[in-house]
Structure 1
């Protein structure tokens, strides 16, 4: 590409250019004005305008630089950092919806998720059940099988990052019918060494 050959970012093209630039920012997670400019083939001024808008919205923050000869680099804020796995993305989308709704059903939550994730009712319901067990939700209206689903309310909003279920690896001893090791719990005393 020739130096200085940039696409003009008109008001009509801006939403499409910004969406592609944001996808790039999500992929690389750390970037500067020059990276956005080069990736989108837009001027440095247009790239600065996009990045400053994201910073004002709280999507990104300065990671380093910006004083003297050092280049200003940006990173995604924790609320906008995308989990790499699908279940993490679904959880984050549902959690964000929960935080914005007064009461909700799993259908409401699935409807608020990005279309490309294709969240189904089972996944939204399972996430609600996990958070209900953990004390983040309370039931405001019970389900009636075949007629209506349960309605929930978020009662423990701990911040923008979604709580997630974790699977842990344990050691089960069938001889003693007990767990010999659970991560984070002191090992049992008196066992053979």
Structure 2
């Protein structure tokens, strides 16, 4: 990892109690800093760019900007890198255990749309759903139940999954809500 990278783990269940969720990290990268070329296998990495930009290097080069979601399916294995743009990057990186072993690696980018300021992101897997919203200043939005990660100008925090109903978040903020199949996966240890 580069010296210009700071990472803070927000959620890291080690017992399988959050289904496929392995970790949610808040990463801040200085301009030009990256993770260094590294290997992944049998994991999906979902990156939500909160601010700045992040160039993803594997199978071509895609640049993610604020609000964009990158879905990396490592499958049978790959080596990749991510490097912050000239404005740095503030990113939520969520690691999910693969839903199906032996898949071919792939990367997909879901672009931010100024027309739709909130909605579900298709992750292509049955056991995890992601809802993302950009809440403007002076606005409040209803958010679905689930594991909530809220990024404001000053802080990023995660709240436990609500079991029923919706909650409300006031802006300015970026909100990610994870709905996870909480059935104990085969890899969980008693």
Same fold (TM over 0.5): no
Task: Indicate the structure (1 or 2) with the bigger Cα radius of gyration.
Answer: 1
Q: TM-score, normalised by structure 1?
A: 0.22
Q: TM-score, normalised by structure 2?
A: 0.23
With a CA cutoff of 8 Å and minimum separation of 6, indicate the structure with the bigger relative contact order.
2
Higher relative strand content: 2
